[in-house]
Chain A
Amino acid sequence: MEDRTQPTPKENAMLTPEKIEEWIKEVEERPASAAMILRFIANRLRELSERNEELLAENIALLTGKRVEEYERRITHLEYQLELLRRHAGGDLPSAEELAPAERPAAPSETTSLLAYDTQGRVLRLELPPQAQGRPPIHLQGEFPAEAEPPRLLAVTSSEELLFIFTSGRIATLPAASLPAAEAPDWESAPMPHAPNAGEKLACLAPLSRMGLAGFLVQTSRRGYAKKVNITLAESILANHYIGTGIRLPADVTFDLALCSKEDRLALVSWEGWLACLEVSGLPFSIEEAMRLGISDHLAAVFVIPPGQPLIAVTQIGKIIHRAAEGLDTVDLRARGQMLFSSARREQGVRVVGAACASEADWAAALHRDGSLSLHTVSELFGSGAIPTQSQVVAFAAFPAPAGGPNGS
């Protein structure tokens, strides 16, 4: 039987026979109006005809399966992201092996890359080799002077979407796959996919692909201020290409943007060796001081703490500082947090250049002041307690082992 609860498209049309009759009546009463009415209708017809062409093309893409293929590719990507999440979450979700063969996603042909980027907007993408251990360091052409802000590191998969956040609050997005892989890693000729405008700098890069699974965006500033933004606003933020400066102090700049869930905890690690673990649910929606920092201190790392994973921090001389998961106590807003090393060592000039939560199976990368980039497994770093360096470590990142590698899935 025909369903009469919903009107048919014909009944829904905005162009009713009554309206057409009224137009005809106008023409009959005032024949001079015919030309104008005809012109209005013809213009509208042309517009609709153009739109019809677009819809026909879309229809063909649907019928031939092209659109379906596109959606399948996207589903595969999402399933891969889910697999990564499962690993982050510690196995609460069913693994790919546990899924019935028919449900199992096709193995993603993704690669993991390491991005090195600086405040001028230069981004180098380095494809990671299958082995980290024992591999000679990659040498980036060009040194990083002590007075300049060193580059930062970020590991991403090829399906990742990157968010460029500038100090002005402007944002831009870019698929990681669109960055060319640097065969001869020359820092001076690194691409600038989104060059900063006059008066602004690139504050940070943030991966976006997990956005759909997150509850909040947490924007932190170099001086320890933070605000969280409900994920429902992300669409509007991306559409407007603006997230805000995220600062309250004039000399401050955005430091990082993290995707978090309500139950997550966020770690803030400072240059002078302080660690504050904060509940995301307790973070403010307006920009407020999240971690009390000394006058000469600033943030060196911000990351979500995965349950059960230990923290690894690296000093400028390559020394590894390890904190077990159970030692990462949550503190209140505006607290100074716990010390990662003693006051005496701080006074001697020891500083933290990077930190992350990582499991032994993960990999780590360290960028040295002389331009060399060394790769390590986290288990190796836990074992040796240090990253060997000829100069100083300036940036550090830890990330899941690439797929296909010895520790990767």
Chain B
Amino acid sequence: MTLTVGIDFGTSNSGVAVSDGHTVRLLPIDAKNNIPEVVKSILYITRDGQQYIGQEAVELYYRHNVNRLRRYVQKWAGEIDYHGADMSYVRDVYVLVDELQPGRLLQYIKTALRKVGGESGYRGTQIFDRYYSVADLVQAYLQALKARAEALLGEPIGGVRLGRPVKFSESPEHDRQAEDILRQAALAAGFAQVDFEFEPVAAALFYEQTLTKPQNALIFDFGGGTLDIAILRLGDPHQRTVYANGGIGIAGSDFDRAIIQKRLLPHFGLGQVHHEPALLELIHAVPDWMALPDLSTPPNRANLEQAIARGLAPARLRTLQALIFNDLAFSFYNQVEAGKIALSSQPAAVIALQEQGMDLWELYTRAQFEKDIYEYQQQVEQVLLDTLAASGLEAGQIDAVVTTGGSSSIPAFTEMLGRTFGPQRVIASNAFSSVTAGLAIRAANG
């Protein structure tokens, strides 16, 4: 009999679990992580094609990149056709490429699946000499995950029950396209049998194990990339009913970006730099930490140096320079995320980065955070009410609201659920592992 595992391939974190039909075993898939049962959904591909995931990828990225030498060369990237009323011409496009770049770090690979649809959808990326399609990137990550799981289990894995969001996309065609890519990637990663389950349904299956009598449950799965909601009748495996599913592409990474945009960009010169498009472009790129290493080019350095020499916001632009040219973007982003997480359990947090020429310090309160994500809160509440309406149930008919995913711990959302359904009905499940565990249960049940 082939071994089938459950894999939660999340936007920020992933996990692998196996069940024998009675008990669920969450695999310590990343021994270097603070929670070994959770592995960061990060992929690092080196110049020689080696692939690393999780904490190992992060550590290697740091070891390779911080304070490293760079050598930029101009490379032909393609050509642009210009068409005017009475003329047209072709122009070559060159890009500056760092010849000494040791590797590329990729996060939010799953988000790429949400963007594959349509003519102008995201297809993939060039990494050194090889073009990686979205399927190639997902395959590389799943392959590494499978290898680790097999090493822990001591036997080969035949099949996988993969979690997927309720909606990759609002368009059914793009949604199917994203699932097909995920299936192809899993098959290419070496899984002979690939099946799917909605992530909130998986979380519900895990929760169902604690029930002694049937009840209506609302699963609020709020992670790094998406919010997924499912309303189900649970407690009797023979009469399990899904009343409604809903979701929206808002989650933890959007909140991180909101914090940076609304609170931290002034530390890098926003508000002090005006009418300088080249500098403003650099400042507005700060929320996208993966793009920052590509901005560490000699022309950008020269622009910053000249502005600093002119006395234009020198302290702020020096901070921006340190962020871009010392490869501190990932550290910075981690600090922002850590500050956000801290606000779930305390009323205030400090977002600080004081290294290599940077002295960034921002006292951030829960009230400020709630103000910054207010629009997102409104949208989440709307999706919640829409899903409830689609289920045909009243709020009072929901027996339990089960929260899972890192963002579900944010007090503003817990309070919102409490307001709608009553605080006593809101039950916090394991934030990072309940979907993984539910997928393992689903895999064992076939």
CB within 8 Å of B: which residues of A?
Answer: 6-7, 11-12, 14, 19, 22-23, 25-26, 29-30, 32-33, 36-37, 40-41, 44, 233, 236-237, 239-240, 285
Contacts and interface: CB of A to CB of B under 8 A. Distances in A.
Interface in B421-443: none
Interface string B317-354: 00000000000000000000000000000111010000
Contact of A37 (B267, B312, B348): B348
Nearest to A233: B69
23 contacts: A7-B313, A11-B272, A12-B272, A14-B266, A22-B365, A23-B365, A26-B347, A26-B348, A26-B366, A26-B367, A26-B368, A29-B367, A30-B347, A33-B347, A37-B348, A37-B363, A37-B365, A40-B348, A40-B363, A44-B361, A237-B69, A239-B67, A285-B71
Contacts of B366: 26, 30, 33
Contact of B348 (A12, A19, A33, A236): A33
Nearest to A25: B367
Contact of B363 (A23, A236, A239, A240): A23
B311 interface: yes
Q: Is the interface of B mostly helix, strand, loop or mixed?
A: mixed
Interface in B30-80: 67, 69, 71
Contacts of A44: 350, 361, 363
Contacts of B363: 19, 23, 37, 40-41, 44
B315 interface: yes
A14 B269 CA distance: 10
B367 A22 contact: yes
Nearest to A29: B367
Interface residues of B, number: 23
A182 B213 CA distance: 92
B316 interface: yes
A12 to B, nearest CB: 6
Interface string B130-162: 000000000000000000000000000000000
B363 to A, nearest CB: 5
Contacts of A40: 348, 350, 363
Given A12-B315, A240-B67, A285-B71, A37 B367 contact: no
Given A22-B365, A26-B365, 7 more contacts: A6-B312, A7-B272, A12-B313, A14-B362, A33-B348, A36-B347, A285-B71
A19 B316 CA distance: 18
Given A12-B316, A44-B361, A236 B311 contact: no
Contacts of B312: 6
A387 B128 CA distance: 57
Nearest to A232: B298
A43 to B, nearest CB: 8
Contacts of A41: 363
A23 B366 CA distance: 10
A236 B69 contact: yes
Contacts of B367: 22, 25-26, 29-30
A169 to B, nearest CB: 13
A7 B348 CA distance: 30
Nearest to B311: A6
Nearest to A44: B361
- Point out which of B69, B272, B313, B363 has the most chain A C-beta atoms below 10 A from its C-beta: B363
Nearest to A38: B348
B368 A22 contact: yes
Nearest to A20: B363
A236 B311 CA distance: 25
B67 A37 contact: no
A298 B267 CA distance: 55
B73 to A, nearest CB: 10
A285 B350 CA distance: 45
A36 B348 contact: yes
> Shortest 7 CB-CB distances between A and B: which pairs?
A33-B347, A26-B365, A26-B367, A37-B348, A30-B347, A40-B350, A36-B348
A23 B368 CA distance: 8
A29 B347 CA distance: 10
A44 B354 CA distance: 12
Nearest to A11: B272
A23 B267 CA distance: 18
B315 A37 contact: no
A40 B363 CA distance: 7
Nearest to B273: A7
B212 to A, nearest CB: 37
Contacts of A19: 363
Contacts of A240: 67
A29 B365 CA distance: 11
B346 to A, nearest CB: 6
A215 to B, nearest CB: 15
A233 B70 CA distance: 9
Contact of B347 (A14, A32, A236, A237): A32
Nearest to A33: B347
Contacts of B350: 40, 44
B71 A236 contact: no
Contacts of B361: 14, 44
B306 to A, nearest CB: 15
A37 to B, nearest CB: 5
B318 to A, nearest CB: 12
A207 B367 CA distance: 59
Contacts of A32: 347
Contacts of B315: 12
Contacts of A7: 272, 313
Nearest to A237: B69
A176 B271 CA distance: 48
B121 to A, nearest CB: 40
Interface in B379-402: none
A29 B368 CA distance: 12
Contacts of A285: 71
Contacts of B266: 14
Contacts of A33: 346-348, 365-366
Contacts of A239: 67
A206 B195 CA distance: 65
Contacts of A14: 266-267, 361-362
Nearest to B361: A44
Most buried by A among B266, B311, B348: B348
B188 to A, nearest CB: 36
A19 B67 CA distance: 34
A33 B363 CA distance: 12
A25 B366 CA distance: 10
